[in-house]
């Protein structure tokens, strides 16, 4: 693969003898360039001034300023498969460079600085880079949340975050300890030399890049059902996110509903990943059936829950995947590709959000609760739904009707809202959410709607707020 690595500090000249710079040694970027080459990839290293030797067989373009690095990257990034931005680029540069050495005069000296271009932030737009994009975040506080904010803001596939306030780590040191912040999860790698760490990082980045373009059947490691479902949800989420805001092809529109070509595309992608890895399984999705329908193992898939929101450019929708074995839901994953939140659960284990255990809310009083009451799509459920909404709204603190049942259930599992009530809903909307809520300490009651296969009325809650009076 072709890999671009930026590294080192930049130097922003003040006058012919002085410059602004930072404490980056360039060691991490150089170690990464060496490790990619060692693994057989072709590397272009673009670096600010360092004391390091350029690793063997690495193409090298030296730069000084942020502006020079920006120009070189913009010229070369288009032909790359992977771009890793390890440089500590100056965020500000002197507004003017004095042509002659500044002589000392008064007691103070003010320098006017202006912002430099954000190179990593330009990679997707305007550079148009579509490969695997990796940034670094050197932080002194709120490591994970700051890194996740960068991940989203700069449209990265991965942000490698380190806490530079830890003694002996990061800047100028040979050691580093990092968090890998992905859209749907965070992993931590223990402290290691920058050399060892770079080998692990190259593996993680190459894997990410391979998974970006190929179905999971080529995955190197055997995966658990939960890992497989998570991977499928993330891949589908990526497809949906890439299409968000652009004109979608409508396959079918009724008065109260819309089906997009993307619903089908997303389900096809999920089917390829799940059944590619588990060819004997059955799949039951909103967009139809696939696989061996006699199998006791059945994947239940909603490829986009909240299609109407998606179509109207409202960023609130998700992918929902559950696995039912012999009639019992054993795995659930709900992924919100816009916020980068992924809920996961295995039967008997804790419900998790981005790798951390979650619990339903402890609220017991309706007057403090937030209720999501859906009103359905057909005339009858709209009528009864509105009446219930009216009753509930007089008792609850706030009502919400958000447009994605699965995401609403994930919000209950996380303790954000307290209950979800709807009189007619399909299995694929609620299967993963049910296991999530129950594993997070809540309660889900389903009643079959007579005369409709797999249609349910649902009352899901934290198990504490009294709902009987409003049902
Ligand atoms: N980066 C870049 N071009 C810049 C600034 C940063 O390419 N002009 C890249 C770095 O190489 C790194 C990531 O962006 O991969 C760091 O993000 P950034 O938000 O710039 O980090 P800080 O400067 O530490 O941010 P802040 O002051 O916002 O915390």
Mention every residue, 6+ apart, whose C-beta is less than 8 A from residue 213: none
What confidence category does residue 439 fall into, taking pLDDT thresholds of 50, 70 and 90?
very high
Q: Which atom of ligand 1 is nearest to the CA of 146?
A: 29
pLDDT at 292 over 90: yes
What confidence category does residue 62 fall into, taking pLDDT thresholds of 50, 70 and 90?
very high
Ligand 1, atom 18: nearest CA belongs to which residue?
A: 137
Which residue in 85, 158, 78, 80 sits closest to 126, CA to CA? Answer: 78
Residue 296's region, left for phi above 0, alpha for psi from -120 to 50, else beta, is alpha
- DSSP secondary structure string, 255-291? SS-EEEHHHHHHHHHHHHHHHHH-TT-EEEETTEEEE
What confidence category does residue 277 fall into, taking pLDDT thresholds of 50, 70 and 90?
confident
Q: Which atom of ligand 1 is nearest to the CA of 66?
A: 8
Residue with tokens 């980068």: 340
Which one has a higher pLDDT value, 10 or 218?
A: 10
- DSSP secondary structure string, 284-343? EETTEEEE-TT-SEEEEEEEEETHHHHHTT----EEEEEEEETTEEEEEEEEETTTTEEE
Which one has a higher pLDDT value, 454 or 41?
A: 41
Cα-based distances in Å from 12 to 8, 114, 121, 344, 358 = 13, 11, 19, 46, 46
Share of the chain above pLDDT 70, in %: 96
The DSSP symbol for 9 reads: B
pLDDT value for 220:
31
Instruction: Please state the rounded mean pLDDT for residues 63-80.
Output: 96
Which one has a higher pLDDT value, 421 or 382?
A: 421
Ligand 1, atom 23: nearest CA belongs to which residue?
A: 91
Strands 297-305, 318-325: parallel, antiparallel or unpaired by DSSP? antiparallel
6: helix, strand or coil:
strand
pLDDT value for 421:
95
pLDDT at 120 over 90: yes
pLDDT value for 49:
98
pLDDT at 181 over 70: yes
Share of the chain above pLDDT 90, in %: 69
pLDDT value for 171:
63
Tell me, in angstroms, the distance from the centre of ligand 1 to residue 137's CA.
7
Is 22 a residue of the active site? yes
For the chain, give every residue range classified as CATH 3.30.540.10: 225-357
Full strand arrangement of the beta sheet holding 419-426? 398-400, 370-373, 419-426, 455-461, 443-448
Instruction: Please state the rounded mean pLDDT for residues 56-60.
Output: 96
Q: What is the CATH number of domain 2-213?
A: 3.40.50.10300
* pTM (predicted TM-score): 0.57
Which one has a higher pLDDT value, 316 or 213?
A: 316
Distance CA 352, CA 357 (A): 4
What confidence category does residue 350 fall into, taking pLDDT thresholds of 50, 70 and 90?
very high
Q: Which atom of ligand 1 is nearest to the CA of 117?
A: 8
pLDDT value for 396:
96
Q: Which one of 71, 77, 114, 119 would you pick to mutate in the ligand 1 pocket, going by the greatest count of ligand atoms within 8 A of its CB?
A: 119
Distance CA 3, CA 131 (A): 10
* DSSP H stretches of helix in 127-223: 143-153, 194-213
Instruction: Please state the rounded mean pLDDT for residues 7-11.
Output: 97
Tell me, in angstroms, the distance from the centre of ligand 1 to residue 153's CA.
11
* From 22, 142, 146, 176, the catalytic residue: 22
Cβ atoms of 226 and 333 within 8 Å: the answer is yes
Tell me, in angstroms, the distance from the centre of ligand 1 to residue 138's CA.
8
pLDDT value for 379:
84
Distance CA 452, CA 459 (A): 18
The tens digit of pLDDT for each residue in 202-246 reads: 999 999 888 654 333 333 334 789 988 988 998 899 889 889 988
pLDDT value for 170:
59
Q: By CB neighbour count within 10 A (0-12 exposed, 13-18 middle, 19+ buried), where does 410 fall?
A: buried
Tell me, in angstroms, the distance from the centre of ligand 1 to residue 150's CA.
8
For the chain, give every residue range classified as CATH 3.40.190.80: 366-470
Fold of 225-357: Fructose-1,6-Bisphosphatase; Chain A, domain 1 (3.30.540)
Residue 329's region, left for phi above 0, alpha for psi from -120 to 50, else beta, is beta
Which residue in 263, 144, 229 sits closest to 435, CA to CA? Answer: 229
Q: What is the CATH number of domain 366-470?
A: 3.40.190.80
Tell me, in angstroms, the distance from the centre of ligand 1 to residue 89's CA.
7
Instruction: Please state the rounded mean pLDDT for residues 18-29.
Output: 94
Residue 116's region, left for phi above 0, alpha for psi from -120 to 50, else beta, is beta
For the chain, give every residue range classified as CATH 3.40.50.10300: 2-213
pLDDT value for 216:
34
Q: Which atom of ligand 1 is nearest to the CA of 138?
A: 24
Mean pLDDT for the chain overall: 91
Mention every residue, 6+ apart, whose C-beta is less than 8 A from residue 195: 31, 34, 35
Question: Which residues contact ligand 1 via a Cβ below 6 A?
Answer: 6, 66, 85, 87, 89, 91, 116, 118-120, 135-138, 150
The tens digit of pLDDT for each residue in 355-406 reads: 779 999 999 999 999 999 988 778 887 888 899 999 999 999 999 999 999 9
């Amino acid at each position: 693969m072709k890999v671009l690595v930026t590294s080192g500090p930049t130097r922003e000249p003040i006058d012919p003898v002085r410059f602004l710079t930072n404490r980056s040694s360039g060691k991490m970027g150089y170690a990464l360039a060496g490790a990619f080459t060692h693994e057989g990839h072709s590397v272009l290293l673009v670096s600010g001034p360092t004391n390091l030797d350029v690793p063997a067989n690495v193409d090298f373009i030296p730069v000084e300023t942020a502006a020079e690095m920006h120009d070189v990257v913009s010229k070369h990034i288009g032909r790359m498969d992977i771009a890793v931005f390890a440089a500590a680029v100056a965020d500000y540069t002197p507004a003017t460079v004095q042509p002659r050495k500044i002589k000392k005069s008064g007691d103070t000296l003010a320098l006017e600085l202006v912002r430099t271009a954000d190179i990593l932030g330009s990679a997707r737009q305007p550079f148009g880079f579509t490969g695997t994009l990796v940034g670094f975040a050197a932080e002194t506080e709120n490591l994970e949340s700051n890194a996740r904010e960068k991940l989203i803001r700069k449209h990265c596939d991965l942000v490698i975050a380190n806490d530079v306030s830890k003694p002996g780590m990061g800047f100028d040191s040979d050691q580093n300890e990092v968090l890998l912040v992905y859209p749907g999860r965070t992993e931590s790698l223990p402290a290691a030399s920058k050399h060892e760490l770079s080998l692990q990082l190259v593996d993680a980045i190459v894997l990410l890049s391979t998974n970006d373009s190929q179905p999971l059947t080529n995955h190197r490691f055997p995966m658990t059902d939960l890992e497989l479902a998570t991977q499928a949800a993330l891949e589908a989420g990526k497809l949906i996110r890439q299409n968000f805001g652009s004109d979608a092809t409508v396959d079918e529109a009724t008065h109260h509903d819309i089906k997009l070509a993307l619903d089908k595309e997303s389900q096809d992608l999920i089917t390829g990943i799940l059944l590619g890895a588990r060819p004997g399984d059955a799949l039951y999705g909103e967009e139809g059936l696939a696989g061996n329908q006699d199998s006791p193992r059945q994947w239940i898939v909603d490829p986009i829950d909240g299609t109407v929101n998606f179509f109207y450019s409202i960023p609130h929708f998700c992918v929902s995947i559950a696995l039912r074995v012999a009639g019992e839901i054993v795995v659930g994953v709900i992924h919100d590709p816009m916020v980068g939140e992924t809920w996961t659960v295995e039967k008997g284990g804790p419900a998790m959000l981005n790798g951390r255990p979650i619990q339903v809310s402890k609220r017991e009083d309706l007057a403090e609760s937030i209720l999501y009451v859906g009103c359905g799509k057909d005339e009858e459920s709209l009528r009864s739904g509105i009446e219930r909404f009216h009753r509930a709204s007089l008792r609850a603190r706030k009502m919400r009707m958000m447009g994605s049942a699965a995401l609403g259930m994930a919000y209950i599992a996380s303790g954000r809202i307290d209950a979800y009530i709807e009189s007619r809903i399909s299995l694929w909307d609620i299967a993963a959410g049910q296991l999530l809520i129950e594993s997070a300490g809540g309660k889900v009651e389903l009643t079959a709607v007579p005369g409709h296969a797999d249609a349910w009325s649902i009352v899901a809650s934290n198990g504490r707020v009294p709902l009987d009076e409003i049902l």
